[in-house]
A and B are shown apart, each in its own frame.
Chain A
């Protein structure tokens, strides 16, 4: 019986010609977004390799020079893309991709692609994630708002139930067809996620699983919500208006409101203020005093009265002390900013309770490693690399400069001691704690809607009796 009903619903959906072109348009958009994302990503990947190799070659072959000159010469490191970023570029367009690692400075990443774009980009980037998160629910609404409401309005619902079909089975058949159709439209994205897993580095299976289950749950939520309202409302018109209102509020209005409220609650300083604060807190009389104390302590420890008598090069030791002093200020100020930014993210994610869009968007960006938290992981790793680099160069100068005659110079053997920067995104498992609210919200939405559908089926049965 259930199979028969599924067939009937499938046939009816197929007959709805007016929806056909909407679905096909959406599918074309999805495929275009996928093709464009894949092309851009493969081009970026090849450039990433070339430029990373060129930068490493430059570092190794910079010639003979003082270690501190090399520290100022620095290196540029590039943020890699994850295997799922083709599907959800997330915040990639709004975060820098390149970071300069140099002496005395912790830098922010450079070159946000959005700065090289036109104003029209603000309407949304046509990515597979955009199509599924934003547009697919509209397709579901258009396909499903009349499923039960129309049957009720036309009086065919009573006839159907009179033939012995239970409302639960009827809703299961209608809901099942709706979900199946939706999943067919979303299939290119989900299949691509599986395919990209093949090329991904080991341990990234969790991300693919999270991505696929997140989207499957999200589409289920919209199907269930559509069916629920279609069963509640007297007419398809009422169902359509309510569903569209819910979509507009949850996908358009709430995300903006939530982010505005988050940035209001936890404001961060402007870039100018932050830079001025960094400068004023590093280059202080206290710093000069700390260097002086360090000098006195070092002289005392070695039982000498001047730095020239020390068994090592004082300038190298002083440079490293200065770096460590600055690092403490960087840790404090950048740390404070990171805490505020993460609080903004958490406040935004807490609105996932009200909006499945926010929940999925957060989960999807997490799985694709394209959110702020993953960007911070890259920046933290790069900063650690910078510190290792500075310590290696300064300590080398401290330990070897004393023996040299004239200006001290180091060569390739020192440059080789600093490993090439390598960063790969961690497994998603240990990071899941940061995404509990959106994950739980998605699960709760799905569960609550399932329960509501059960009640709706019983209510419908009673109503028709």
Chain B
């Protein structure tokens, strides 16, 4: 009997040409969205590779130009000298910290278009290093990318609602339902068959195409990633189907169902996330960047005014670098001391931003459960490696790397100054203090673990079960009521 209902539904869809329409729309969205997400991640991957190549080339140039530099007679400014530790540290160094996109990156661009994914490192205040960003049209950031996550979160529910909202109600209105019931078909069976067949026309091509594209074009993608992706999509769309079934089970006409479902979509996908965002931001406002700039300037001025004290503090903190008194007159050591002093003074302000962001993320982590859209969004961008979790880890690694570079240059510059390498004689060039850049620390990032969003999946399963239970109950009531009418 169930097979008959499915066959009847398929025939209906074919007659209305809806099957083809749904199939085409869903396939088109899958291809378009994958292409956009993929293109975005490829551009980032290319930028990361180019940065690594630039770094390699710069290191080779240092090695290859050594003989020429050693033979050089004419004057050479240290800030133009690739073989001078100071020139490298403050101006010339090509040393990148990069975050390469994961194989799953095409799923959701997430925050990857806003958050920086590469930093050119120099020995300067980390506050100057960490606020670089890639330049893109700001309108593209405001609108967001047309990636798989966008299609899944926004468009698939609309397609499903559009395909399913008149299930059962058409049969009820035309009187066909009574005839079907006489043949032993319950409203629940009919709704289930109709919804599943129509959803199949949307979901099967979408999942097949998106998984196939990810598997073919994203080398290194694992089976488990694809499985999590598919499960998340199925559970999210499952929620919308269960909601549709529940609305239908209330027994109103098709127009009413459509209005209710669209209002629910509007509420859950557009209004709730926007309200949650503004709520979180209002409850935990970020400190002002204008005040940050103001403080940075004040502290830099203070440090510069107290240069001697700053340097004394530096040597007190780093006694290993203060073997002789000669170092105290060195410009570069003094500059590094000032950089460290400014960084230290600004640390509470940086911490304030981190603290607020942490709090915002913590609240978002709880409040995201209020809408399946926010729940899925967080899960998908984490799966794609373009969420806050991976970015925060990356930023910590960048800061550690910056610190390593500072330590590396501070100790070598102090040593070179003590040896008199920067001023071997009056009016002559500094000695070569950097013959080979291969021992300059290179950024390395720890591979992040694949986040399995158990919480999101459980929540979605729970919602589906609850809605299915409620609709089954309502439909069985409807069955009883209709049966009595049929009997009368």
A259 → B minimal CB distance (Å)? 5
Are A97 and B377 interface neighbours, CB within 8 A?
no
A352 → B minimal CB distance (Å)? 13
A152 → B minimal CB distance (Å)? 13
How many angstroms between the C-alpha atoms of A25 and B264 in the bound complex? 13
Which candidate, A155-163, A217-225, A247-255, A403-411, is the interface stretch facing chain B? A247-255
Q: Which residues from chain B contact A248 at a C-beta distance below 8 Å?
A: 154-155, 158
How many angstroms between the C-alpha atoms of A343 and B160 in the bound complex? 37
Q: What does the 1/0 interface line of B282-293 toward A look like (CB < 8 Å)?
A: 100010111111
Please report which residues of chain A, range 420-459, place their CB below 8 angstroms from some CB of chain B when the two chains form the complex. Answer: none
How many angstroms between the C-alpha atoms of A61 and B133 in the bound complex? 32
Q: Which residues from chain A contact B259 at a C-beta distance below 8 Å?
A: 18, 142, 240
Q: What does the 1/0 interface line of A110-146 toward B look like (CB < 8 Å)?
A: 1111111111111111100010001100100010001
Please report which residues of chain A, range 67-112, place their CB below 8 angstroms from some CB of chain B when the two chains form the complex. Answer: 76, 78, 90-91, 93-95, 97-98, 108, 110-112
How many angstroms between the C-alpha atoms of A427 and B144 in the bound complex? 30
Are A255 and B275 interface neighbours, CB within 8 A?
no
Q: How many A-B residue pairs have CB under 8 A?
A: 221
Tell me whether A241 and B289 are in contact in the complex, defined as CB-CB below 8 angstroms, given that A126-B274, A248-B155 are known contacts. no
Tell me whether A32 and B291 are in contact in the complex, defined as CB-CB below 8 angstroms, given that A18-B259, A272-B120 are known contacts. no
The verdict on B484 contacting chain A, using a C-beta distance below 8 Å, is: no
How many angstroms between the C-alpha atoms of A256 and B40 in the bound complex? 14
Are A120 and B270 interface neighbours, CB within 8 A?
no
The verdict on B342 contacting chain A, using a C-beta distance below 8 Å, is: no
Tell me whether A118 and B364 are in contact in the complex, defined as CB-CB below 8 angstroms, given that A54-B294, A268-B135 are known contacts. yes
Are A125 and B277 interface neighbours, CB within 8 A?
yes
Are A120 and B258 interface neighbours, CB within 8 A?
no
How many angstroms between the C-alpha atoms of A127 and B394 in the bound complex? 32
Q: Which residues from chain B contact A98 at a C-beta distance below 8 Å?
A: 289-290, 293
B468 → A minimal CB distance (Å)? 25
A113 → B minimal CB distance (Å)? 7
The verdict on B216 contacting chain A, using a C-beta distance below 8 Å, is: no
The verdict on B224 contacting chain A, using a C-beta distance below 8 Å, is: no
Q: Which residues from chain B contact A62 at a C-beta distance below 8 Å?
A: 301
Tell me whether A237 and B255 are in contact in the complex, defined as CB-CB below 8 angstroms, given that A76-B297, A119-B111 are known contacts. yes
The verdict on A179 contacting chain B, using a C-beta distance below 8 Å, is: no
The verdict on B73 contacting chain A, using a C-beta distance below 8 Å, is: no
Choose one: A95, A122, A262; the contact of B377 (CB below 8 Å). A122
Are A241 and B258 interface neighbours, CB within 8 A?
yes
The verdict on B132 contacting chain A, using a C-beta distance below 8 Å, is: yes
Choose one: B54, B132, B136, B291; the contact of A51 (CB below 8 Å). B291
The verdict on A461 contacting chain B, using a C-beta distance below 8 Å, is: no
- In chain A, what residue has the closest Cβ to B150? A256
Are A51 and B155 interface neighbours, CB within 8 A?
no
The verdict on B353 contacting chain A, using a C-beta distance below 8 Å, is: yes
The verdict on A301 contacting chain B, using a C-beta distance below 8 Å, is: no
Please report which residues of chain B, range 134-157, place their CB below 8 angstroms from some CB of chain A when the two chains form the complex. Answer: 134-146, 150, 154-155
Choose one: A51, A118, A348; the contact of B139 (CB below 8 Å). A348
Which candidate, B43-51, B239-247, B397-405, is the interface stretch facing chain A? B43-51
Please report which residues of chain A, range 26-62, place their CB below 8 angstroms from some CB of chain B when the two chains form the complex. Answer: 29, 32-33, 36, 44, 47-48, 50-51, 54-55, 58, 62
A258 → B minimal CB distance (Å)? 9
Are B255 and A146 interface neighbours, CB within 8 A?
yes
How many angstroms between the C-alpha atoms of A344 and B286 in the bound complex? 31
The verdict on A273 contacting chain B, using a C-beta distance below 8 Å, is: yes
Tell me whether A260 and B293 are in contact in the complex, defined as CB-CB below 8 angstroms, given that A116-B353, A344-B137 are known contacts. no
Are A256 and B263 interface neighbours, CB within 8 A?
no
A238 → B minimal CB distance (Å)? 9
Choose one: B133, B269, B277, B291; the contact of A118 (CB below 8 Å). B277
How many angstroms between the C-alpha atoms of A32 and B279 in the bound complex? 10
B31 → A minimal CB distance (Å)? 13
Q: Which residues from chain B contact A124 at a C-beta distance below 8 Å?
A: 270, 273-274, 277
Central interface residue in B43, B114, B118, by most chain A CB within 10 Å: B114
Central interface residue in A47, A115, A344, A375, by most chain B CB within 10 Å: A115
Q: Which residues from chain A contact B456 at a C-beta distance below 8 Å?
A: none
Q: Which residues from chain B contact A18 at a C-beta distance below 8 Å?
A: 259
Central interface residue in A112, A146, A275, by most chain B CB within 10 Å: A112
Tell me whether A94 and B141 are in contact in the complex, defined as CB-CB below 8 angstroms, given that A55-B297, A122-B377, A256-B146 are known contacts. yes
Are A126 and B144 interface neighbours, CB within 8 A?
no
Q: What does the 1/0 interface line of A338-352 toward B look like (CB < 8 Å)?
A: 000100110010000
- In chain A, what residue has the closest Cβ to B282? A36
Q: Which residues from chain A contact B162 at a C-beta distance below 8 Å?
A: 241, 244-245
How many angstroms between the C-alpha atoms of A345 and B139 in the bound complex? 8
Q: Which residues from chain A contact B39 at a C-beta distance below 8 Å?
A: 264
The verdict on B225 contacting chain A, using a C-beta distance below 8 Å, is: no
The verdict on B280 contacting chain A, using a C-beta distance below 8 Å, is: yes
How many angstroms between the C-alpha atoms of A348 and B290 in the bound complex? 32
- In chain B, what residue has the closest Cβ to A61? B301
Central interface residue in A119, A123, A264, by most chain B CB within 10 Å: A119
- In chain A, what residue has the closest Cβ to B371? A123
Are B271 and A25 interface neighbours, CB within 8 A?
yes
How many angstroms between the C-alpha atoms of A119 and B367 in the bound complex? 13
Choose one: A58, A142, A273; the contact of B50 (CB below 8 Å). A273
The verdict on B202 contacting chain A, using a C-beta distance below 8 Å, is: no
The verdict on B406 contacting chain A, using a C-beta distance below 8 Å, is: no
- In chain B, what residue has the closest Cβ to A35? B282
The verdict on A274 contacting chain B, using a C-beta distance below 8 Å, is: yes
B367 → A minimal CB distance (Å)? 8
- In chain A, what residue has the closest Cβ to B289? A111
Please report which residues of chain B, range 325-365, place their CB below 8 angstroms from some CB of chain A when the two chains form the complex. Answer: 353, 356-357, 360-361, 364
Are B378 and A271 interface neighbours, CB within 8 A?
no
Q: Which residues from chain B contact A91 at a C-beta distance below 8 Å?
A: 138-139, 141-142
How many angstroms between the C-alpha atoms of A119 and B389 in the bound complex? 11
How many angstroms between the C-alpha atoms of A51 and B135 in the bound complex? 26
Q: Which residues from chain A contact B43 at a C-beta distance below 8 Å?
A: 270
How many angstroms between the C-alpha atoms of A275 and B155 in the bound complex? 38
How many angstroms between the C-alpha atoms of A118 and B155 in the bound complex? 23
The verdict on B110 contacting chain A, using a C-beta distance below 8 Å, is: yes
Are A260 and B146 interface neighbours, CB within 8 A?
yes
Q: Which residues from chain A contact B388 at a C-beta distance below 8 Å?
A: 118-119
The verdict on A356 contacting chain B, using a C-beta distance below 8 Å, is: no
A403 → B minimal CB distance (Å)? 26
Q: Which residues from chain A contact B155 at a C-beta distance below 8 Å?
A: 248, 252-253
The verdict on B472 contacting chain A, using a C-beta distance below 8 Å, is: no
- In chain B, what residue has the closest Cβ to A52? B290
Choose one: B118, B138, B143, B356; the contact of A255 (CB below 8 Å). B143
Are A276 and B277 interface neighbours, CB within 8 A?
no
Tell me whether A237 and B276 are in contact in the complex, defined as CB-CB below 8 angstroms, given that A91-B138, A115-B114 are known contacts. no
Choose one: A123, A257, A270, A345; the contact of B47 (CB below 8 Å). A270
Are A240 and B271 interface neighbours, CB within 8 A?
no
How many angstroms between the C-alpha atoms of A407 and B364 in the bound complex? 57
Are B131 and A111 interface neighbours, CB within 8 A?
yes
B141 → A minimal CB distance (Å)? 4
Are B278 and A32 interface neighbours, CB within 8 A?
yes
Q: Kindly list 12 other residue pairs between chains A and B, CB separation below 8 angstroms, not including A94-B114, A126-B274, A130-B274.
A: A44-B290, A94-B139, A116-B289, A118-B360, A119-B364, A124-B273, A138-B262, A240-B258, A244-B158, A259-B139, A263-B137, A275-B120
Residue contacts A-B, CB under 8 angstroms, 21 given: A18-B259, A44-B290, A54-B298, A78-B290, A93-B142, A108-B135, A111-B293, A112-B133, A112-B138, A116-B286, A116-B357, A117-B281, A119-B110, A119-B378, A120-B364, A120-B374, A123-B274, A124-B274, A126-B278, A130-B274, A341-B137
Return the 8 tightest CB-CB contacts between A and B, nearest first: A123-B273, A94-B138, A111-B289, A271-B134, A256-B146, A91-B138, A94-B141, A126-B274
**B-side interface residues toward A, CB under 8 Å?**
32, 36, 39, 43, 47, 50-51, 54, 96, 110-111, 114-116, 118, 120, 131-146, 150, 154-155, 158, 162, 166, 254-255, 258-259, 262-263, 266, 269-271, 273-278, 280-282, 286, 288-294, 297-298, 301, 353, 356-357, 360-361, 364, 368, 373-374, 377-378, 381, 387-388
